[in-house]
Structure 1
Amino acid sequence: MVEEIVIYPDSRLRETSKEVIEFGSVLKETLDNMYETMMDKGGVGLAGVQIGKLQRMLIVNIPREDRIQYKEDLLEIINPNIIESSGEILFQEGCLSIPNYYEYVKRFSYIKLQFQDREGKEKIIEAKDYLAVALQHEIDHLNGILFIDKLSILKRKKFEKEYKKKK
């Protein structure tokens, strides 16, 4: 089921998501709905909070070189914890919760991530470049941080001014 996306400046986007404890059918249904929603809206990542679920869960599906997102590449990340990070990358980001706004953000170019899958099994993944950026972006959502928070004061003021005009 396609869910409604929580849009900035909704205060829920500023809340810290809670750890997932129950790994049952409700979680699986939510993850499935998140995938349908992300694909319907044309995103590459989605955090639980973006559909109003304040739980530490996110999904990421990076397109391959042919620009197609294959479901077998889907990552479902529950209770993520970055255990290692290095390097630096400047990457243009957008966000389904801040439609039609894109800006370059500085992130780690490499991360090692500890998390649980939909069954609750502990896993570790290493990610670099685009995947590392997408994971960091979604993890920020779980901590109430938006990519616009990482902009310079000047760019942030410009964003706020442009965003108010659109409303």
Structure 2
Amino acid sequence: MKIILTHEVSGLGTPGDIVEVKNGYGRNYLLPQGFAIQWSKGAEKQVTVIKRAREAREIRDLGQATEVKGQLEGLKVTLTARSGNGGRLFGSITPTEIADAVKAAGGPSLDRRRLELPGHIKTTGSYTVQVKLHPEVTAKFPVNVVAAK
């Protein structure tokens, strides 16, 4: 099955890429989740629009990526969340909340889709979050989750 990716899919490609996948994977996962659209000649013309939008928000080069990595690694990110007994949160911490907390802590704005959480964050404590800034640059930074008073 030939599809056009609309979002970054780990191990498959970036938005605007035209890839060949197995029928079940495309039909049952990528298309319903909105990660891809069915390939056609008309849809292929949309690829240029998708790529142009990606280039506008993407980190330009390796130098800029390493600069952003330096900013992130020196950052102390703290999130407050409501929790019950034993530090268990009501819900979990999302990538959007982490991206907003990085921005509030004085860091660069991050795309939530590029954040890689260490599983589901459902308790208070310290966690290490990865962000893929560039195909060759991955930054890690600590996130401290504390209980709201």
Could you tell me the TM-score, scaled by structure 1's length? 0.24
TM value normalised by structure 2: 0.26
